[in-house]
């Protein structure tokens, strides 16, 4: 059954982040996320533009949020309003970045000395404190308690839900020729319930072509690999348009 899109008007800018702008609406319980083409890396030390990224990230996030809702995962997604605008439930964001990893890459390769591409038998979950001034340090459950970021019950739900999301997205992407290497999630509260928030996009996931292991995500920008726009468009074709073209 298709949900009716609530009648809303866009109001003042509430917050501008590195990749998105959040607007208030005429409904206090709803916000609009506007997806920009701006890209940053290494805590904004590196800046650039990825043409068309906002459209890809908006539409891919919408497709995956809908997939997750069908699997019983509550998300903040309500509707797409335009190529770059998404109507969402307003959440009180929990300042934890939750990472799920299936294959060694990025900071896990550095932390462990394992080679990039090493499979991880049981997916692992990591927690980072969402704080630009501190550079998003990795934290433990005890630090979450010390900082008062979430209750133990909320954290338990976040960990279980992150792994459940992995169990939905990994095969979904595999069917489209993509390896889901790792990804970042953010959760928030609304009216006493928890929801998945933010976005799920090539900015927040590592995605490799399943056959060639070509990187099809923001690592192309972070590592100056070239072909950044083409990679985002390829992911769009596979996950939004549903085609199974190969690189
Ligand atoms: P990492 O290997 O650099 O820790 O990144 C893990 C995952 O988190 C990867 O899919 C990229 C994503 N990520 C973000 O979404 N935001 C960030 O600021 C960083 C550093 C990583």
* Pair 17, 122 in one domain: no
Q: Pick from 71, 91, 111: which residue ends a domain? A: 91
Q: Are residues 75 and 54 in the same domain?
A: yes
Token pair 């990230």 is found at 57
Q: What is the pLDDT of residue 88?
A: 98
Would you state the pLDDT for residue 229? Answer: 98
- Give the range of the structural domain holding residue 31, as residue numbers without chain letter: 10-91
pLDDT at 244 (0 to 100) = 55
118 lies in a domain?
yes
User: Residue 132: which CATH number?
Assistant: 3.30.470.20
What CATH number is given to the structural domain containing 71? 3.30.200.20
What is d(CA 79, CA 87) in angstroms, rounded to the nearest whole number? 5
Apex 152 CA angle, 149 and 158, nearest 5:
75
Structural domain tally of the chain?
2
**Whole-number pLDDT of residue 19:** 98
Ligand 1 contact, 106 CB (< 6 A): yes
Using 70 as the pLDDT threshold, list the residues of the chain that sit under it: 1-3, 243-247
CB of 204 closer than 6 angstroms to any ligand 1 atom: yes
**Atom in ligand 1 nearest the alpha carbon of residue 181:** 10
Assess whether the C-beta atom of 99 lies below 6 angstroms from ligand 1. yes
Quote the tokens at residue 182. Answer: 């790792």
**Residue nearest to ligand 1 atom 19, measured at CA:** 204
Are both 149 and 211 inside the same structural domain?
yes
Please tell me the predicted confidence (pLDDT) of residue 245: 53
Q: Using only the alpha carbons of the chain, give its radius of gyration.
A: 17
Q: 114 and 71 share a domain?
A: no
Distance, CA of 47 to CA of 54 (rounded, Å): 15
- In this structure, the answer to whether residues 87 and 115 fall within a common structural domain is no
């Amino acid at each position: 059954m298709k949900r009716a899109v609530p009648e809303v008007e866009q109001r003042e800018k509430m917050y501008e982040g590195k990749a998105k702008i959040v607007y208030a609406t005429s409904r206090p319980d709803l916000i609009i996320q506007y997806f920009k083409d701006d890209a940053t890396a290494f805590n904004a030390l590196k800046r650039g533009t990825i043409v068309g990224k906002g459209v890809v990230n908006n539409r891919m996030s919408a497709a995956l949020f809908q997939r997750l809702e069908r699997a019983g995962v509550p998300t903040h997604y309500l509707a797409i309003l335009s190529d770059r605008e998404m109507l969402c439930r307003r959440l009180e964001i929990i300042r934890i970045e939750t990472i799920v990893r299936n294959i060694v890459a990025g900071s896990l390769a550095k932390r462990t000395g394992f080679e990039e591409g090493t499979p991880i038998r049981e997916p692992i979950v990591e927690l980072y404190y969402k704080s630009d001034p501190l550079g998003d340090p990795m934290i433990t459950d005890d630090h979450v308690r010390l900082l008062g970021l979430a209750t133990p019950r909320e954290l338990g739900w976040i960990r279980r839900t992150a792994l459940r999301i992995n169990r939905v997205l990994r095969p979904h992407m595999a069917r489209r020729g993509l390896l889901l290497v790792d990804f970042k999630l953010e959760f928030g509260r609304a009216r006493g319930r928890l929801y998945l928030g933010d976005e799920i996009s090539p900015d927040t996931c590592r995605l490799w072509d399943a056959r060639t292991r070509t990187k099809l995500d923001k690592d192309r920008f972070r590592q100056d690999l070239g072909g950044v726009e083409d990679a985002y468009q390829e992911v769009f074709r596979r996950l939004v348009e549903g085609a199974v073209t190969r690189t």
